[in-house]
C-alpha cells in the first residue's frame, strides 16, 4: 500500500507505557543481579535443606585430562560440558575461572554478593510497587476485562492463531491494534502467575519471614524448593521476554516500539472508522 493508505491510531495509554518501561528496567537488573547472587552458590536443591549430593541444578568447574578447567552443568542426574558458558568462563583478565554464569551476564560486578543483593532487593521492591499500581489501574480502567480477558471467539480461534504465529502471519488494519488470544494468555500468565510467583518465592527464601510465610514455604516443599521455584520462574520470564522481543522484531519493530513510546501506531486504512477512536490500553 502507499503511504496515503496509512493511518495513525492511539494504541497504548500513558500509564501502560510508563509501567512497561519501568518493568523493562526492573527485569533487566533483577535478572542480572539475581545471577550475581546465584553465583555465590551456583546450585539448586529441592526440599527444606541443601542436599549437596543431589542438586536439581549445579554448575561447577573440573580439571580435565589436559589440565585445563572444564565447565560442567548438572541437571538432575545428567551432566553436560558447558565450558566457556556455564561452570567456568574467562574473568576480566582473560583467565578461566570457576563461575556459574559468566561475568557479562551479571551485575554489578564479578564477585560482589553484597552489592548484588542490594541491587536485587531495591529493584524487586520497585517491580512490586509498579505491579501493584498496574493491577489497581487495570481494575479501575477495566483493562483486564476489556482487553486481556479471552472471549468465546478467541477460544474458538486459538488453533488458527497458533498456525498464524508459526507462519509469521500477523494481523493488519484495526485487528493489529487488538491483542490476539495467544498474547492475552501470555500476558495473563505474567500478571497472575509469573510476577506474583517470583515475588512470593523471593520472600519465602528470607529466614526473617519464615514465621509469616511458613505455610507457603511448606506448601512449595521447603526454603530450598522456594529458591528453585524462584529460579524456574525467572527462566520463564526470560523465555517470555525472548518470544516477546522476537515477535516485535518480525512484526514491524519501528511501529511497535513507537507505539510503546508515543502511543501512536500506524495501520493500513481498510474499512475502519477515521480518527483515534481505537485505543488498546
Complete domains list, the chain, with CATH: 3-39+110-268 (1.20.950.20), 42-105 (no CATH)
| pLDDT higher than threshold 90 for residue 24 | yes
| pLDDT higher than threshold 80 for residue 154 | yes
For residue 272, the model assigns a pLDDT of 44
Name the least confident of 91-95, 125-129, 154-158, 201-205. Answer: 91-95
Measure the CA–CA gap between 258 and 240, rounded to whole angstroms. Answer: 21
Average pLDDT rounded to a whole number, residues 143-156: 89
Q: Is 94 left (phi over 0), alpha (psi -120 to 50) or beta?
A: left
Measure the CA–CA gap between 70 and 73, rounded to whole angstroms. Answer: 10
Position with higher pLDDT, 5 vs 158: 158
Q: What are phi and psi of 71, to 5 degrees?
A: -80, 135
Check: CB of residue 100 under 8 Å from CB of residue 42. Answer: yes
Measure the CA–CA gap between 66 and 221, rounded to whole angstroms. Answer: 42
Cell representation of residue 119: 541491587
What would the pLDDT profile of 54-109 be if each residue is shown by its tens digit?
999 999 998 888 888 899 999 998 999 998 889 988 777 777 888 899 988 999 87
What would the pLDDT profile of 218-247 be if each residue is shown by its tens digit?
888 899 999 999 999 999 999 999 999 999
Amino acid at each position: 500500500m502507499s503511504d496515503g493508505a496509512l493511518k495513525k491510531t492511539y494504541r497504548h495509554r500513558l500509564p501502560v507505557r510508563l509501567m512497561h518501561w519501568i518493568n523493562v528496567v526492573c527485569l533487566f537488573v533483577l535478572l542480572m543481579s539475581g545471577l550475581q547472587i546465584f553465583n555465590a552458590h551456583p546450585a539448586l536443591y529441592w526440599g527444606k535443606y541443601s542436599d549437596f549430593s543431589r542438586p536439581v541444578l549445579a554448575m561447577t568447574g573440573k580439571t580435565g585430562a589436559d589440565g585445563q578447567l572444564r565447565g560442567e552443568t548438572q541437571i538432575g542426574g545428567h551432566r553436560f560440558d558447558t565450558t566457556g558458558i556455564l561452570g567456568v568462563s574467562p574473568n576480566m583478565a582473560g583467565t578461566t575461572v570457576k563461575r556459574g554464569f559468566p561475568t557479562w551476564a551479571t551485575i554489578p560486578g564479578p564477585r560482589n554478593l553484597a552489592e548484588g543483593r542490594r541491587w536485587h532487593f531495591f529493584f524487586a521492591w520497585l517491580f512490586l510497587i509498579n505491579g501493584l499500581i498496574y493491577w489497581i489501574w487495570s481494575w479501575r480502567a477495566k483493562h483486564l476485562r476489556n482487553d486481556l480477558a479471552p472471549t468465546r471467539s478467541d477460544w474458538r480461534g486459538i488453533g488458527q492463531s497458533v498456525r498464524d504465529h508459526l507462519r509469521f502471519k500477523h494481523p493488519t488494519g484495526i485487528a493489529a491494534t487488538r491483542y490476539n488470544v495467544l498474547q492475552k494468555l501470555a500476558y495473563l500468565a505474567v500478571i497472575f502467575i509469573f510476577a506474583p510467583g517470583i515475588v512470593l518465592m523471593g520472600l519465602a527464601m528470607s529466614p526473617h519471614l519464615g514465621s509469616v510465610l511458613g505455610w507457603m514455604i511448606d506448601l512449595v516443599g521447603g526454603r530450598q524448593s522456594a529458591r528453585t521455584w524462584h529460579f524456574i520462574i525467572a527462566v520463564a520470564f526470560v523465555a517470555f521476554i525472548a518470544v516477546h522481543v522476537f515477535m516485535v522484531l518480525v512484526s514491524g519493530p519501528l511501529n511497535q516500539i513507537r507505539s510503546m513510546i508515543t502511543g501512536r501506531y500506524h495501520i493500513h486504512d481498510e474499512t475502519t472508522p477515521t480518527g483515534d477512536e481505537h485505543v488498546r490500553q
